């Protein structure tokens, strides 16, 4: 069984401020973790993912996330927000657990960037 919790359905930051979007997961086997971004009226696209190896992963548009097994977290950060970062962000978890590998999505966090 697996689940994802995204804390905060809406987050507002000022342009140039740190972006921190929180994601906690549960999984009975080693997880694969993903962050997707959805711009208005578009489909989801991959920002970054963790599979194995280095726990700090870098993605597109200056975003990065750190896999912390002890905290079961995979928070998304960006040092300096841009107006173009305004979007909805989804954390997702899956695992190779035999048979069909279900992907579980969080409920999303809408990021607002204030000029």
DSSP bridge pairs for 68: 73
- If the CB atoms of residues 45 and 112 are measured against another protein, the closer one turns out to be 45
Distance CA 31, CA 103 (A): 10
Least distance CB 43 / another protein (angstroms): 4
> How many residues are recorded in the chain?
115
User: Measured from the CB of residue 99, what is the shortest distance to another protein in angstroms?
Assistant: 9
Q: In this complex, which beta carbon is closest to another protein, that of residue 43 or of residue 115?
A: 43
CA gap 66, 114 in Å, rounded: 26
Q: Determine whether 91 is exposed, middle or buried from the number of CB atoms within 10 Å of its CB (0-12, 13-18, 19+).
A: buried
Least separation in angstroms between residue 101's CB and another protein is: 4
Q: Which is closer to another protein, CB of 26 or CB of 51?
A: 51
- The C-alpha atoms of residue 114 and residue 95 are separated, in whole angstroms, by 37
60: helix, strand or coil: helix
Closer residue to another protein, CB minimum distance, 17 or 104: 104
Least distance from another protein to the Cβ atom of residue 66, Å: 18
Residues that bind another protein (CB under 8 A): 9, 32, 34, 36, 41-46, 49, 51-52, 90, 94-96, 100-103, 105-108
């Amino acid at each position: 069984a697996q689940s994802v919790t995204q804390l905060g359905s809406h987050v507002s930051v000022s342009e140039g401020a740190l972006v921190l979007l929180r994601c906690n997961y549960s999984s009975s086997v080693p997880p694969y973790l993903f962050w997707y971004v959805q711009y208005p009226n578009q489909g989801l696209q991959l920002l970054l993912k963790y599979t194995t190896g280095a726990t700090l992963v870098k993605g597109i548009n200056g975003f990065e996330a750190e896999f912390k097994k002890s905290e079961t977290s995979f928070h998304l950060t960006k040092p300096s927000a841009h107006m173009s970062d305004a979007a909805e962000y989804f954390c997702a978890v899956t695992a190779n657990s035999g048979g069909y590998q279900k992907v579980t999505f969080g409920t999303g966090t809408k990021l607002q960037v204030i000029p």
